[in-house]
């Protein structure tokens, strides 16, 4: 194996989530050989100040990694700027990164899989992203597969791929529309990724992930995804800025080792695209959304 990839952990105002994320990481045998970079964003208002302080108190006392470097922002960057800046900084130094947020629980072999995958495909220019989170829970998916889609929960990439990242959402949207790719980008119209990108250009969201997704999609670069989830998102409890989902993205954590068997036919897996399309069609229909809204209302959750 090549040198181990550094881990980037982005934290904000959730001390319990942060602790759970770190403890899960430490359950990986190779964590103690791995460098950890933590980016702590500053409070955006007085309400968040105390919890940001608690997070910072906790991370200053973390042990169990080869080396720990903490960056405490002096102003509120927001998630997008914090991630873009942090990934760019570290990937320019190390050539590869593994990226996590504070609400992610990883499996005991997550780091092993990510490092194996980053090593295996480091010289394959048509693959630019490694994703270890599966929310479809579709048994038809193989252990690993290639798809033109990037997930943002427990991922890794290389400097050669990050160079394709275009932060200009307007330029990405224009190219998608001019090349008539919006229908495909949206999994045959079953999930409104294009609308998400348009809303980013309008200042209605500040998603870095939709711009990363569009950047690689337009470049024709694939992601290596897993059919078994090595990550769980623990943030669907209303504690996060961008968390919702109503159980849509829950995953079953796979706790055994997941081997990386090199895929030599570098093209999108048609079965995988079909599985994602089917999943989004099932969960984003008008009826499915109406049922979820009724269930949330009955539980007393009056969010959108």
250 assigned to some structural domain: yes
Do 126 and 266 meet the contact criterion of CB atoms below 8 Å apart? yes
pLDDT digits (tens, 9 = 90+) for 172-214: 999 999 999 999 999 999 999 999 999 999 999 999 999 999 9
CATH of the domain at 259: 3.90.550.10
What pLDDT sits at residue 250? 79
Instruction: Provide the 3-class DSSP secondary structure of residue 86.
Output: helix
Cβ-proximal residues to 4 (8 Å cutoff; 6+ apart), any chain: 30, 33, 34, 35, 111, 115
What pLDDT sits at residue 246? 52
What pLDDT sits at residue 24? 98
What pLDDT sits at residue 235? 84
What pLDDT sits at residue 242? 47
Domain that holds residue 204: 7-298
199 assigned to some structural domain: yes
What pLDDT sits at residue 108? 98
Number of domains in the chain: 1
Nearest to 120 by CA among 105, 110, 130: 130
304 assigned to some structural domain: no
303 assigned to some structural domain: no
**pTM (2 decimals)?**
0.92
Residues of the chain with pLDDT under 70: 1, 236-249, 285-304
What pLDDT sits at residue 300? 56
What pLDDT sits at residue 244? 47
223 assigned to some structural domain: yes
């Amino acid at each position: 194996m090549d040198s181990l990839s550094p881990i980037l952990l982005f934290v904000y105002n959730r001390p319990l989530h942060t602790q759970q994320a770190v403890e899960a990481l430490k359950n990986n045998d190779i964590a103690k050989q791995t460098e950890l970079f933590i980016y702590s964003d500053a409070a955006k208002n007085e309400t968040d100040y105390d919890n940001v302080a608690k997070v910072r108190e906790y991370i200053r006392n973390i042990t169990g990694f080869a080396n720990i470097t903490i960056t405490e922002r002096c102003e509120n960057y927001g998630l997008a700027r914090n991630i873009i800046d942090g990934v760019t900084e570290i990937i320019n130094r190390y050539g590869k990164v593994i990226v996590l947020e504070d609400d992610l629980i990883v499996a005991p072999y997550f780091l092993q899989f990510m490092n194996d995958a980053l090593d295996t495909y480091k010289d394959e220019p048509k693959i630019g992203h490694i994703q270890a989170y599966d929310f479809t829970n579709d048994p038809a998916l193989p252990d690993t597969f290639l798809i033109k889609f990037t997930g943002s929960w427990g991922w890794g990439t290389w400097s050669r791929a990050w160079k394709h990242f275009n932060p200009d959402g307007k330029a990405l949207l224009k190219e998608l529309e001019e090349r008539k790719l919006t229908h495909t980008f949206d999994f045959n119209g079953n999930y409104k990724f294009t609308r998400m990108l348009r809303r980013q250009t309008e200042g209605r969201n500040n998603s870095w992930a939709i711009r990363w997704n569009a950047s690689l999609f337009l470049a024709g670069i694939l992601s290596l995804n897993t059919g078994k989830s090595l990550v769980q998102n623990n943030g669907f409890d209303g504690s996060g800025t961008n968390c919702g989902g109503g159980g849509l993205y829950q995953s079953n954590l796979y706790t055994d080792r997941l081997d990386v068997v090199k895929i030599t036919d570098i093209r999108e897996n048609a079965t995988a695209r079909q599985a994602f399309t089917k999943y989004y069609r099932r969960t984003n229909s008008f009826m499915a959304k109406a049922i979820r809204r009724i269930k949330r209302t009955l539980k007393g959750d009056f969010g959108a």
